[in-house]
Structure 1
Amino acid sequence: MARDAPPSLDQLIGLGARRLAELALDEAGSNAAFRQRLAAAIAAARGPAAVAAIVDRRLAALEKGRSTIAAARRRAFVEDLSATLKIIADDLAGADPASAVERLLRLLAAADGALARAGDEAAGVFSAAAAALPALLARLPGDDGGALADGLYALAADSRSAFVLRAAADILAAAPAATVAALDARLAEGVLALGPLAGDPPNWSLRARARRLIELRQRIADRRGDVDAYIALATALPGEGPDVAAIGERLVGAGRAAEALAWLRRSAPPSIKRLSLADLHVGLPPRDPAADRRAHVEIAALEALGDNAAAQALRWRLFTETLDADILREQVARLPDFEDVEALDAAFAAVFASPMIAAALRFFLQWPRLDLAERLVVERRTEWDGRRCEALAPAADALESRHPLAAVVLYRALLDAILDRGLSLAYGRAARYYAALQGLEAREAPGWPIEPHRHYRAELRRRHGRKLGFWSRVEAAGAT
C-alpha cells in the first residue's frame, strides 16, 4: 500500500492554531527531542538570550556526562543531540549568529566524549554540526579574530574526532579574514610549544597533535593560495615524508609545472599496497595508491609543459597495468583526429594478451564491447577460473542474451568449480547455473567450438551423480 504523502504547509495552516497546539502538546508528551525544540521555539519569542539558555543547559549536561550510554538509550541520546543542533543552527542562529557559532563550537568540542559514551551512532550529528559551521560563520558581521580563533584552535588541537579538520576548507573559506589570520598565528605558536618531535621512542601523541595543527595551517595556506607556505608546512609534518602528490597538484595549479615534476620524481618511500574488492575479484595485484596518485599528477604536469607524448606514455603504462577503462578514455580523448582507431586497436590487443584475464573481461564489459568480450571468452575458454564467481557470474548474465556461446563457457566454468570442489553451501548457485545452461541449449549452433550441452550434461551426471544435494536443488528448480 502506498504511504500517505506528508501534509503540506497550507493543510497545517488550515487546521488552525488551537488544533496545531493540541497536536504539538501531545507529541511533546512522548518525544523528548520534540519537546526540546518546542521549548526553544517558545523561548525565541523572548529573545535569543532565552534560546541560548536552553542550549547552554543541554551543552552543560553533555559536557559533564561520563557514563557509557546503554544501547537501548542511544537512539534517544542521538535524537537529543540532533535537536540541540537544530536549535543552534535554526532558532538561535536566526536571531544571534555569533551566539550560535559559540554554542556550535561547544557542541563540536564535546564530540570526543559523546562518541566514547555512545559509539559511532552519534557521529552523524557532529558531522552535520561541522557542516553547519561555515554557513553560520558567513553570517558574522566581522570578528576581531580572538575568541573565535581560540575556539577553532581548541577543536584542532584537542579533538581527535577530526570533524572540524574534515570540514576545514569550507570553514576557513567562510570565516572572517581576521579570524583566519589569528588562527594561523595560534596554530604556529601551538606547534612551537610542542618542542622537538623526534625521539626514541617517538612520542606519538605529540606527533599526532602536531600533525593536526600543521594540517590546518596547510588548509589556511590553500585558502590564501600560498603554495610555498603549503610546501614549507608539508616538509615540517612529523612522521613520513611530505605528500609530494599534494605538493605537485598545487604547483601545477599555480602554473609551476616544472617544479611539480621535480617534486614528483623524488624518491619516495612505498606506502602500504591496497586492493579494492572489485579488483580482487578480477585478479589484479595490490597497488601502491600513493604511487598511482603521483603518476596522475605527473601526467597533468607533463601536459602543462606541453610534453603530451610523455604524458600519453605514462597513461599507457598505467592502463596496461590496471586495464582501467577510464584511463584509456582519457588517452583516446587527447589523441588527434583519426588516430583513435589505431590506438584502440592497440589497446584492445593489449587487453586480449593480458595475463589478467578476468580484468580483461571486465574491461570489455565496461567499455562496452560485448562482441570483444565474447571473443575473449571463447578464444581463451580453457583459462577461466570458476572460483572467481563475483566476476564471471555477472559477465555471464550480461552476455547471455546476445552472446550465448560466451555465456555457456562462463556458466560451465562456474558450475564445474563448485561441483569439482564439492561446495555444498554453493549448490543453490550451482543449480541456477545449471538452469541457465539448460535454457541456452536451444540456442546452440553447429559451429560452436565446445561440446554440445547434452554431452556436457551426461558427463556432469557421470562425474557428480552422487552429489544428491546438488541434483535435488536442480529438480526443485525444474531444470532436470
Structure 2
Amino acid sequence: MARKTSLSLEALVGLGSEKLAQIILDEATANAPFRKKVNAALAGAKGADAVAALIDRRLAALEKARAMVAWEKEKDFAADLAATVETIVKELAAADAALAVERLLRFIDTHATVFERIDDSSGRIQDVYWRAAQAAPDLAAKMPDDQRAGLIKPLTKSLGVDTHGLGAGVAIALAPLLPEAALAAWERTLKGAGDDDRTVSVRQAIADARGDLDHFLALEAQRPDWRQEPLRAAEKLFAAGRLDEALSWARREHRGGFAYAIETDIAEGRISRPHDLQRVDLEARILEAQGDRKAAQALRWQAFETTLNPGPLRAYLKKLGDFEEDDEVARAFAHVEASPNIYLALAFFAGWPRLDLAAKLVLAHAGRWEGRHYGALGTTGGALEEAHPLAASILYRALLDDILARGKSQAYGHGARYLAKLGMLSANISDWRTLDDHIAYGQTLRKTHGRKFGFWSLTEAKPKR
C-alpha cells in the first residue's frame, strides 16, 4: 500500500524549481490574492524600493476607490486587503521597517472610506484592519531610534481621519517607542488639535510615556464625567506611591462604562458593573498599603455579602491568619445559604465548588426554581448529576416544565433531552422525599401536556393521537 504523501519543505524542494514554478504560475493565474503575494515576492528580490512601489500602487487605487463592493465579492475583497497587509508586514518590513510602517499607516487610514463601501456584516474587513493596527508596534520597534521621530506626522494625520478608533489605537501603542523630544513636540501639536476623546487618550499615552503622571491626571479631569476612568487613574497613583490621592480617585463615582447581566443577575433582576468589584479590590489594596488592614478586610467582606461573588471572599480569606480561615469560611457559607438571592447562592456553591451545599440549596427551595433561567440551572444540573441526582432532577424538571408550559416548540429538543436525563437519574434515587417519583411525574406530564405532539415525537414515550 502506498504511503500517504504529505506536504513538507523537503518534499516540495524535491519537486524541482521548474515544476514548483509552474504550480505557482497556475495558482497565481486563478487566485488574485495569491498572485499579489507572488508579485510581492518577485519585487522583494529587487529590493525595498521595488516592494514599496508595488504597495504604493495598491494603496493609491484603494485610496481613490469609491464604488460600492457587492456583498458576493466581500470575501475576495477581504483576501485582497489581507494580501496587501501581508506584503507590507512580511516583504517590505524585512527590507526596510520605516518604509513598512509608513505604508501600514497609509493602509489603516483607508478604513473610513472602505467601511462605507461595503456591508461588512461578517466582520472580515474590519478584522483585516485591526490586524494591521496590531502589527504596527512590532514594525515600529524594528525602526532605528533616529527614524521614529518621523512617525509623528503620519500618526497625527491618522488621528484626523480616524472613525473607528484604529488611528488612536495605533498612536497610543506607538507612543512608548518615540524619543522624548518627539513626544514633547507631539504633545504641543495635539494640544491645539481639540479636546475630543481620542485626542485626549493619545495625549494621555504621551504623558504616560514621558512619566508625567500629573499631566495624565489633569487630562483625565478634563474629560466629561461619563468618560472618566477613575480606577485607571487610581491604579497609576497607587503604583507611584501617592496613596491618599489614589484612594480619593478610587472612591470617585464611576458614571460611565458598561453594565452587563449574567444568568444569575437576570434571575435576580439586577445588573452588574465590572468596575464595582475592581474598585473594591483596588481600594482594599490601597487601605492595606496605608496600614488600615481592618478597613480593607471590612470592605472585602461587605462586597462579598452584597454580591455573593467569590472573588472578594477569596481575597478576604487570603489575608486571614492560619487559624481564622475555617471559621470565616463557615460564616460565609451560612450567609450564602440564608440569602434570599437563591440563584446567586446556587452559582456561588456550584462555582466554589461545594456541590453538597448546592444540592442542599436546591432541595430547600424545590418549588421556587424557574426554568426560564436555563443558563443558571442547566450547568449546575449537569454538575450535580453524579453525586446528587435528586437535586439535579429538580433543576431538570424546572427546565422541562417551563418549556412545556410556555409551549416553546423551538426548545422541544432540549426538553426531550431533559426528560431522558430524568429517566436515567431516577434509577439512582431511592428517596424522593416530598416529590413525585419519576413515573408519577411522567404521568402528570402526559396529562397536562399530552397534546404537545411535537415534543412527544422527540421522546421514547409517544402517546397516541
Q: TM-score, normalised by structure 1?
A: 0.88
Does residue 1:27 correspond to 2:27, yes or no? yes
Q: Does 1:243 align with 2:226?
A: no
Q: Which of these residues, 182, 197, 201, is aligned with residue 211 of structure 1? A: 197
2:412 partner amino acid:
Y
Is 1:71 the counterpart of 2:71 in the alignment? yes
- 1:272 Cα deviation from its structure 2 partner: 6.9
| Cα offsets for 1:83-114 (capped at 9, x unmatched) | 11111112111222221121111111111111
Percent identity of the aligned residues? Answer: 42
CA distance in 2, matches of 1:104, 1:403: 58
Q: Distance in 1 between matches of 2:270 and 2:377?
A: 18
What is the identity, as a one-letter code, of the residue corresponding to 2:94?
G
For the Cα contact (< 8 Å) 2:390–2:432, is it kept in 1?
no
Partner of 2:400: 415
Q: Is contact 1:299-1:311 (8 Å) kept?
A: yes
The 1:358/1:309 distance shift into structure 2, 3 A limit, reads same
Question: In the alignment, does 2:178 pair up with 1:175?
Answer: yes
Range with greater deviation from structure 2 (220-229 or 281-290):
281-290
Distance change >3 Å, CA 40–CA 420, structure 1 → 2: closer
1:330-351 Cα offsets, whole Å, 9 max, x none, are 2222222121111111111121
Partner of residue 53, structure 1 = 53
Distance 1:477 1:98, change over 3 A: farther
Cα separation, partners in 2 of 1:108 and 1:131, compared to 1, 3 Å:
same
Aligned to 1:454: 439
1:361 corresponds to which of 326, 343, 346: 346
1:360-399 deviations in Å (ceiling 9; x for gaps): 1111111111111111111121221122122212222221
The SS at the match of 2:220 is helix
Equivalent of 1:225 in 202, 211, 214: 211
Q: Which moved more, 1:355-364 or 1:327-336?
A: 327-336
Q: Is the 8 A contact 2:393 2:422 kept in 1?
A: yes
1:134–1:470 Cα change, 3 Å = closer
| Number of residue-to-residue matches in the alignment | 457
| Letter aligned with residue 473 of structure 1 | L
The structural deviation recorded for 1:42 is 1.4
Query: How far apart in 2 are the matches of 1:23 and 1:178?
Result: 52
What are the residue-to-residue correspondences of 1:78-477 with 2, within 5 Å?
A: 78-118=78-118, 119=120, 120-143=123-146, 147-191=150-194, 210-238=196-224, 240=226, 242-266=228-252, 268=253, 270-271=255-256, 274-283=259-268, 285-446=270-431, 448-475=433-460
> What CA distance in whole angstroms lies between the structure 1 residues aligned with 2:146 and 2:441?
80
Shift in alpha-carbon separation, 1:35–1:354, aligned structure 2, 3 A: same
Aligned residues of 1:405 and 1:448 also touching (Cα < 8 A)? no
Structure 1 counterpart of 2:373, which letter? R
Aligned counterpart, 1:194 = none
Deviation, structure 1 residue 284: 5.3
Residues 364 and 370, structure 1, Cα contact 8 Å, conserved in 2: yes
What whole-Å deviation, never above 9, does each CA across 1:133-164 have from its counterpart, x for those lacking one?
11221222233666420111111233112124
Q: Deviations over 1:283-321 (max 9, x none)?
A: 351134444443332222222222222222222222223
Q: Could you tell which deviates more after superposition, 306-315 or 46-55?
A: 306-315
Q: Which residue identity is paired with 1:308?
A: R
Q: Which residue is 1:7 aligned to?
A: 7
Match of 1:166, SS? helix
Q: Could you tell me whether the CA contact under 8 Å between 2:148 and 2:177 is conserved in 1?
A: no
- Contiguous gaps of at least 5 residues in structure 2: none
How far apart are 1:222 and its partner, in Å? 1.7
Secondary structure of residue in 1 paired with 2:14:
helix
Structure 1 contact 270–288 (Cα < 8 Å) conserved: no
What letter matches 2:356 in structure 1?
D
- CA 1:464/1:5 → structure 2, altered by over 3 Å: closer, same or farther? same
1:158–1:300 CA distance, 2 compared to 1 (3 A) = farther
Q: For the residues of structure 1 that align with 2:257 and 2:48, how far apart are their CA atoms?
A: 52
| SS, match of residue 363 in structure 1 | helix
**Structure 2 vs 1, CA of residues 178 and 271 (structure 1 numbering), >3 Å: closer, same or farther?**
closer
TM-score by length of 2: 0.90
In the alignment, what sits opposite 1:197?
Answer: none
The residue type paired with residue 458 of structure 1 is Q
**How far apart in 1 are the matches of 2:43 and 2:401?**
72
Per the alignment, do residues 99 and 466 of structure 1 end up closer, same or farther by CA in structure 2, a change over 3 Å counting? closer
Task: Give the Cα–Cα distance (whole angstroms) in 2 for the partners of residues 433 and 7 of structure 1.
Answer: 47
Q: Which amino acid aligns with 1:134?
A: P
Q: C-alpha deviations, 1:46-85, integer Å up to 9, x for none?
A: 2211111101100100110111111112222211211111
Mapped contact 2:66–2:117 kept (Cα < 8 A): yes
Mapped to 1, the partners of 2:445 and 2:385 lie a distance apart of: 21
Aligned-residue CA RMSD in angstroms? 2.5
Q: Is the 8 A contact 1:55 1:88 kept in 2?
A: yes
Determine the C-alpha separation between the residues in 2 that align with 1:446 and 1:88.
70
Per the alignment, do residues 124 and 87 of structure 1 end up closer, same or farther by CA in structure 2, a change over 3 Å counting?
same
* More displaced 10-residue stretch of structure 1: 128-137 or 414-423: 414-423
Partner AA of 2:236 in structure 1: R
The separation in 2 between residues aligned to 1:259 and 1:407, in whole angstroms, is 50
Going from structure 1 to structure 2, the CA distance change for 1:143 and 1:239 (only over 3 Å counts) comes to farther
